[in-house]
Structure formats: C-alpha cells, structure tokens
Amino acid sequence: AGPARLAELSSRGLSVVDGAAGYGFTLLACRRGANRGILMACGANNDGQLGPLQTRVSDGADPAQDILLSSSLNSSSSGVARHRLVLRPTQVRLPVHPAELASGRYRLLRLSAGRAHSLLVTSHGAYAFGNNAFGQCGRPAGGESAAVARLALPCPPESVQRLVCGQDSTYLLTADGRVYSCGLGADGQLGLGGFDNSDRFQLVDVGAPVADLACRADTVLALGEDGCVYGWGNSEYGQLGTDALQVDRPIRLDHVMHSVLSANQQVDRVAAAGSMCALLTRCGRVWVWGYGRLGLGPDVTQLAEPRPIPDGLFGRTQLAKDVRIVQLDAGMYHFAAVTNSGSLYTWGDQRSGSLGLGHDDNQCFPLQVSLACRVQWTRCGVDHTIICGTAFA
C-alpha cells in the first residue's frame, strides 16, 4: 500500500517533531504551542510498550472522536486493563505535572522503540515501558511492563545524542562519544565481552569516541570520530567481516574501511538492518553489504564487502547533478533514504506495504515513493515506516 497521512494529528493542533517505529507500533513526539512534551502512540500494545494511555484528551474534544481503542483487552499484573491494540494515535500519560507541560520547560529529547519496549529521554529524566524480559528497559528483568519506570542514566539527559533500540537491547550514545548498552546479550550485541544479559546500562569499550550508532536487530554498527566503522553482535552473514557468527566486543571493520577509503570517500552515517548493513558517505553515496535485497538488483543478494548503489538510482542525472542522499535508515528487512531535495527512496522486502510503493512486490533497487510533501525524516520499523514531511507550497 502507499503512504497514508495521519491528518488527525494536525487537526488536533499537534506538530510531529520526532518518531520511532517498533515492531508493529509507533511513537510520535509532538508539540502544541509551547507544550513540547506530548507523546502519542498507536499500534500493538501486548506488552504495554505504548505506556499508560490517556482515555480522555486534555483539550475537551469528544474522546470518541479523538482516540479509537480496540475492544480486546488483557490485564497487567497490577490488575489494570490494558488495550492490546490501539488503532489511532493516543496520548501517553507521562509522569509530569500539567503546568510543566504548558510552560514549555518539559521537552521530549529522544525516543526509540524495540521489539516490544520503548524508551524516551526527556528534559526531566529518562523513562521506559514495555517488555523487560532481558533487562532492555534498564532495570531488573521482569516486573510490570505497562508501568512507566524512571531510568538511572549514566549521563545527564541533555547529553544523550542517540537513543537506539535493537530487538531486545538498548543503547545510548552520549555527547562525548561514549556508548552504553543493556538488555539481551545472546549474540554479543551488548559489546561487553561475553553473551550475558544486562539489566543496567554499562559502558562499551568501542576503541574510539563514537559519532553515530545504529542497530535494528542484533547487529550493531558504530561510526568512530576517527572515521572508522566498528561493529559487534550478530554476524551470521559476514556483516562484521569475520568467520565468527557472534562478536561480543567491538571490532574495527577493516573490510568496510578498505572499500570506502579506496574510493576516496569518508563515512558520515551507518545503518544496520537484520542481516544487511549500509553506510552513507559525506558525498551522499550509499554503500551496502550483508544478506538481503541490498538495492543492487535481483542478482546481488549477498556481499562480503560494501558496494556503492549507483547514484542514478536516487535520481542523480546530468540535469540534476546536485542530488545526493542526506539521511539513511534501516528497518529489519528494508532501507529508506532521503535526498537533499526531500525525496524518499525505499528498497528491500515489501512486508505489509512497508516500502510505501503502492504494490506488494519486493524491491531489489531503490525506488522513489510518491509523496505530496518534502520529507524531513523517516523511521523504519519491521513491517512499517513512518515519515515526517512538509507540504509543497
């Protein structure tokens, strides 16, 4: 299916500023006037990953017109009924006084979504909700999943530059380039040495300060401030350039650097899907490797070393020489890239219409998504993608 607009958000006076796509659910950081602390959520909620939801809205609108919850319920361990499926964006009740929200002092800074857990960093602290079977919410495993639990961050909230959720693991990237991890460690994805789980954030020794961090499943990529790409976790398809199937400590991906540096390019961003990886260079070129529909046609499904996707597939021609990719994101089975002109290209597995191309076929090379807006950013989940854009004048 093609993209569907969430027009009801703007009709409520909400502007979306950030988002996260989990496994069948969506989180949206919104603002209304001075209020910059509104969190909206919809989708699957079996493990309470949407958090405690408001059943009435604060602006006095008819609740029946404002939210739509499924009639299928289960109960949390505290005995509180929890909707298992939320069909329309609904506000999450955050632990903050309404006066703080109205003043504009309370802000949502970062948010991320995993398989069935959610984390957010605010100006007043960090919170987690959802499945915590492996300690991925940064607290002792188990406990009430629907409750909003405050996290003990290893740094001030404003210092968190990236908040990244894998399937059942969580990562923080701080302003000074440090990486912390917690959650499931079965594939070495915590990077702590060994394969144990961790229910608290621990420092990962990457080997260099980190500028960018990516993980969608259990393979982790980090771009060092030294310009090198590092990786750890699952490497069943050779993503990490080693014969080992799991890598429990960060290693420098020399096979990646050899390919990119030999082309006289520098890495700007990294992206890690389930079994395939990608990077974006400073000149706007996308490189891919691993296993899957990589974007190089139906005959290229596995690469041990990165290979660039031809610029022409992203709309660069003799008449449009300035077109380049400026954003890159990975879902579990697909990629999305945004150009400097605000066009969106997707490729990979077409699960439940996650590519937004209006057909049900898998896509072996990048194809532009038809949108009536200029794309500002995109977030990829497992079988859905969210896009934020501005309408063309």
Q: What is the pLDDT of residues 123-136, one digit of tens each?
A: 999 999 999 999 99
CB 384 within 8 A of CB 24: yes
CA distances from 207 to 233, 249, 252, 332, 375 (A): 16, 10, 9, 27, 35
pLDDT in tens, 192-232: 999 999 999 999 999 999 999 999 999 999 999 999 999 99
Work out the pLDDT band at 66, boundaries 50, 70, 90. Answer: very low
Residue 273 carries which side chain, given as an amino acid letter? Answer: A
Residues 6+ apart with CB under 8 A from 65: none
- pLDDT value of position 144: 61
Asked if the model's pLDDT at residue 79 lies above 60, the reply is no
- pLDDT value of position 80: 40
May I ask the CATH class of domain 1-205? mainly beta
Sheet holding 15-21, edge to edge: 15-21, 25-32, 35-44, 85-91
| Residue (of 19, 148, 133) closest to 96 by Cα position | 148
CB 52 within 8 A of CB 147: yes
User: Domain 253-393 falls in which CATH fold?
Assistant: Methylamine Dehydrogenase; Chain H (2.130.10)
Angstrom distance (rounded) from CA 55 to CA 299: 51
Residues 6+ apart with CB under 8 A from 224: 206, 207, 208, 209, 210, 211, 230
- pLDDT value of position 221: 99
What mean pLDDT is predicted for residues 31-48? 94
DSSP string, 29-67: EEEETTEEEEEEEEEE-TTSTT-SBPSS-TT---HHHH-
- pLDDT value of position 126: 95
Beta strand residue intervals within 195-310, DSSP E: 198-204, 210-214, 219-224, 229-234, 246-252, 267-272, 276-281, 286-291, 302-308
- pLDDT value of position 58: 42
Residue 167 carries which side chain, given as an amino acid letter? Answer: Q
Better pLDDT: 8 or 222: 222
- pLDDT value of position 146: 54
- pLDDT value of position 65: 37
Work out the pLDDT band at 54, boundaries 50, 70, 90. Answer: confident
Angstrom distance (rounded) from CA 387 to CA 227: 29
Beta strands at 229-234 and 210-214: parallel, antiparallel or unpaired? unpaired
Q: What is the pTM of this model?
A: 0.92
H helices of the chain, in order, are 7-11, 63-66, 98-103, 254-261
Work out the pLDDT band at 55, boundaries 50, 70, 90. Answer: low
Half-sphere exposure of 380 (CA within 13 A, CB side): 34
CA distances from 174 to 139, 181, 215, 287, 333 (A): 19, 12, 16, 26, 28
- CA-based angle 368:386:51, to the nearest 5? 170
Q: Where in the chain is the domain with CATH 2.130.10.30?
A: 1-205, 253-393
Enter the tokens of residue 275.
């079994």
Range in 72-81, 175-184, 298-307, 363-372 with the lowest mean pLDDT? 72-81
What mean pLDDT is predicted for residues 50-54? 90
* SS3 category, 384: coil
Range in 45-59, 215-229, 233-247, 271-285 with the lowest mean pLDDT? 45-59
Mean pLDDT rounded to a whole number for the chain: 91
Residue with tokens 């005995």: 79
- pLDDT value of position 342: 97
